[in-house]
Amino acid sequence: MSNMVVFGSQWGDEGKGKVVDMLAEKADAIVRFQGGNNAGHTLVVDGEQCILHLIPSGILHPGKKCLIGNGVVLDPFVFCEELDKLAAKGVDVSAGRVMISKKTHIIMPYHRLMDSARESSRSDDGRIGTTGRGIGPCYEDKMHRCGIRAGDFADPDLLKEKIVIALEEKNVLFKHLYGAEPMDAQAVFDEVMPVAERLVPYLGDVSTVIQEADCVLFEGAQGTHLDIDHGTYPFVTSSNTVTANAASGSGCSPRELDRIIAIVKAYTTRVGSGPFPTELLDADGEYLQTNGHEFGATTGRKRRCGWLDLVVLKESARLNGPTELAITKLDVLSGMKEVKLCVAYEYNGETIAYPPQEQNGMAHVTPVFETLPGWDEDISGARGWDDLPENAVKYLRRIEEITGVKIGIVSVGPDRVQTF
Ligand code: GDP
Ligand code: IMO
Ligand code: MG
């Protein structure tokens, strides 16, 4: 059986959690390979909602292994909270079923403080609108080679030593640049030790589990246009969100990636700052926000809404190599008189088919739209192409034509079963 990768093709919140939950039935193991608890992945099973931030979205299928890869940044407090919440619902979250790579970097209390200190010190224009979870500062330490890794939790002396080193430089910044209280290494160590001890049984060799499984499902977080290299820099997250990172972020070879599924929301949303060419600041945008219940699953912020941007999708297709598209939230478009697709941009007097590559170029494009007729029918009960109104089918076929990728999955509601 072949492995699968699920990735977000826009700015996150495309419905990755729902699709991963659905596909997890076919997999032996589900692995997160980047990001951290900036992610909020929503699953709805039999009408009951479950939001996951760190634990892979396969956890509600009994027996499936749930793995945290080396490319993830893990907040141990959030991880323990998530374990407890799931256990209270009767979900098996035992060590062995859930595993963390020893190479996974740990989000420490000082990373969260640095994230909020940096954001508050930025001007309104420069603020990224991060989730405030310490994601960027943790990845900085990883690259700076002073990060704490999950495996260090098994060695308290090493952990203490690394905290002391990590704080040397940060305390200067806290005190003299950000006007924040410096952190005491012993106090940080004492705060972290109880969760560190709890995590030790979960440490394992994720690469070997992947190698031995017949079918692994790689669960992406965020979206391609939040990628640190390919997204709308600097308004991006701090990891590579593209599918190539599924291999390096989990510990296997790129040859292991077979079926690659692009999750595409039928319109576009974005949380936080940054350019968004097809954003709607009118009644249509309001309609999508309300009808789609577009509030962030992590921070509760209102999501900005706009028309589907096929320039964004084409870029995602060339960066990620999808074998199919999974269109989600098609039901949200019901009731709109007309629906628009952005098919190109005008930029510096030229028509372009891919996003400009200079910093903030995306803020200066004018979208070129194609207008299609909408549909009124409630499609949340559709379970096949034949159940869709003609105009909804036309909309989907046009997406396939322009992106050059076939649609393999259509989602028409939040519940696991509202899919074909
Ligand atoms: P993720 O971060 O990509 O996993 O997406 P989120 O969970 O943050 O946001 C997607 C939201 O849309 C969640 O509230 C889902 O329950 C919901 N959702 C997913 N698919 C559909 C769909 O086809 N129709 C509707 N109406 N809601 C959906
Ligand atoms: P899922 O996996 C949507 C956004 C933040 C901010 C930027 C940087 O649920 O799709 P960070 O805290 O990562 O440094 O913030 O990235 N962001 C997301 N937006 N969905 C997400 O995850 C996101 N994770 C981060 O809003 O603009
Ligand atoms: Mg989300």
- Is 0.95 topped by the overall pTM? yes
**Ligand 2: which residue has its CA nearest to atom 27?**
272
Query: Could you tell me which CATH number the domain at 4-102+203-260 has?
Result: 3.40.440.10
> Which ligand has an atom closest to residue 295 CA?
1
Fold of 264-410: Adenylosuccinate Synthetase; Chain A, domain 3 (3.90.170)
3-state secondary structure of 164: helix
Q: How far is the CA of 130 from the centre of ligand 2 (A)?
A: 7
Residue 277 confidence (pLDDT): 98
Q: Is the CB of 40 under 6 A from ligand 2?
A: yes
CA of 391 to the centre of ligand 2 (A): 33
Centroid of ligand 2 to alpha carbon of 212 (angstroms): 32
Contacts from 345-351 at CB under 8 Å and sequence distance 24+?
345/277, 345/311
Looking from the CA of residue 8, the nearest atom of ligand 2 is: 10
Tens digit of pLDDT for each residue in 90-148? 999 999 899 999 999 999 999 999 999 999 999 888 899 999 999 999 999 999 999 99
Ligand 2 atom nearest residue 136's Cα: 14
Work out the angle at residue 270's Cα, subtended by the Cα atoms of residues 267 and 274, and round it to the nearest 5 degrees.
Answer: 130
Which residues are within 5 Å of ligand 3 (an ion), measured at CB? 13, 40, 297
- Judge whether 270 and 235 are in contact, CB under 8 Å: no
Q: What is the pLDDT of residue 366?
A: 98
Do the domains spanning 4-102+203-260 and 264-410 agree at the CATH topology level?
A: no
Section 7-32 average pLDDT: 98
pLDDT at 96: 87
The chain-wide mean pLDDT, for the chain, equals 97
> Is the model's pLDDT at 69 over the cut of 70?
yes
> With a 6 A CB cut-off, is 17 part of the ligand 1 pocket?
yes
For the chain, percent of residues with pLDDT exceeding 70: 100
Q: Is 237 in the pocket of ligand 2 (CB under 6 A)?
A: yes
Confidence label for 360 from pLDDT (cuts 50, 70 and 90): very high
Atom 10 of ligand 1, residue of closest alpha carbon: 15
Ligand nearest to the CA of 35: 2
Q: Give yes or no for residue 303 CB within 6 A of ligand 1.
A: no
Q: Which pLDDT belongs to residue 242?
A: 98
Q: How many CB atoms lie within 10 A of CB 255?
A: 8
Strand residues in 235-374 grouped as ranges (E): 259-265, 268-270, 304-306, 308-309, 324-328, 338-347, 350-352, 366-373
pLDDT value at 1 more than 80 = no
Does residue 364 have a pLDDT over 80? yes
Give the number of the ligand closest to the Cα of residue 264. Answer: 1
CA distance 409 to 325: 7
Closest atom of ligand 2 to CA, residue 271:
26
DSSP letters spanning 374-392: ---S--TT--SGGGS-HHH
CA 338, CA 287: separation in Å to the nearest integer? 13
Q: Which residue's CA lies nearest to atom 21 of ligand 1?
A: 414
* pLDDT value of position 297: 86
Ligand 1 in reach of 221 Cβ (< 6 A): no
pLDDT at 189: 98
- Enumerate the domain spans of the chain: 4-102+203-260, 105-199, 264-410
Distance CA 179, CA 182 (A): 9
Query: Is residue 374 within 8 Å of 290, Cβ to Cβ?
Result: no
Q: Average pLDDT for residues 366-395, to the nearest whole number?
A: 98
Give 296 Cα–ligand 3 centroid separation in angstroms: 6
Ligand 3 center to residue 230 CA distance, Å?
A: 19
Q: Is 130 in the pocket of ligand 2 (CB under 6 A)?
A: yes
Among protein residues, the one whose CA lies closest to atom 6 of ligand 2: 130
CA of 40 to the centre of ligand 2 (A): 9
Q: In this predicted model, what pLDDT tens digit does every residue of 297-343 receive, in sequence order? A: 888 999 999 999 999 999 999 999 999 999 999 999 999 999 999 99
Question: Is domain 105-199 in CATH 1.10.300.10, yes or no?
Answer: yes
57 vs 61: CA distance, rounded Å: 9
Residue positions annotated with a catalytic role: 13, 41
Q: What pLDDT score was predicted for residue 298?
A: 86
